[in-house]
Structure 1
Amino acid sequence: MVEQKHSKTKTSFYRRLYIAYLIDRGINTVPAITATTGMPRRTAQDTLSALHELGIECEFVGATKDGHYQIQQWGPINQSWLTDNLTLIQRTLDYPAL
């Protein structure tokens, strides 16, 4: 089977959507995100910082040591599409199924 190479634009977009999805499902700290996806800590932090570029409002709630991220507003993102295409996103990013 030939492995398909995806563009950086596509993988970056999917990564942002996936992290927002995880946060919305309670996997909402950097350690939990890195444990679930296997992505480096810095990538997780950079992706969290970039969610606003998609119109997703995400804020950190609580104290530094025991706080978590929370999606306040999904903006133009269709959550139904995201849920329906979760397997495609996970395969594209080479992340394990939840």
Structure 2
Amino acid sequence: MTIKPSKTQTSFLRRLLVAYLIDNDFNTVPKIIDATGMPRRTAQDTIKALHEIEVKIEQSARGEYRITDWGAVNKDWVKNNLRHVCEVLSYLNVEI
């Protein structure tokens, strides 16, 4: 039996994934869309919501983002569990 992930879980994991992508040079909205297939608005809203999980980002004038502080988030956990994160989110073609 497969348990459907909650909205809380998918929202959290999506934020972790987007932060990880930004930290690995997928640092613009178009690059995030290309890597995941997520809608533009979802990518934009997720970036704006990163502060809610204490991940700090900066944006350059060219629309590039940079993680300045991961806060309490362990980016190594995201790296080590990237496959699981992508499976839960149904982003099965993400390659970094």
Same fold (TM over 0.5): yes
Bigger RCO (CA 8 Å, 6+ sep): 2
DSSP-derived class of the 1:71 partner: strand
- 8 Å CA contact 2:36, 2:94 repeated in 1: no
Tell me which stretches of 4 or more aligned residues in structure 1 moved more than 4 Å.
none
Cα distance in 1 for residues equivalent to 2:5 and 2:63: 34
Report the alpha carbon displacement of residue 13 of structure 1 after superposing the two structures with TM: 0.2
Unaligned runs of 5+ in 2: none
DSSP-derived class of the 1:77 partner: coil
Percent of paired sites with the same residue: 51
Number of equivalenced pairs: 94
Q: Residues 21-40 of structure 1: matches in 2 within 5 Å?
A: 21-40=20-39
RMSD across aligned positions (CA): 1.1
Query: Which protein has the larger Cα radius of gyration, Structure 1 or Structure 2?
Result: 1
Query: Structure 2 counterpart of 1:23, which letter?
Result: I
- Provide the TM-score with structure 1 as the length reference: 0.90
Query: Structure 1 counterpart of 2:94, which letter?
Result: A
- Provide the TM-score with structure 2 as the length reference: 0.92
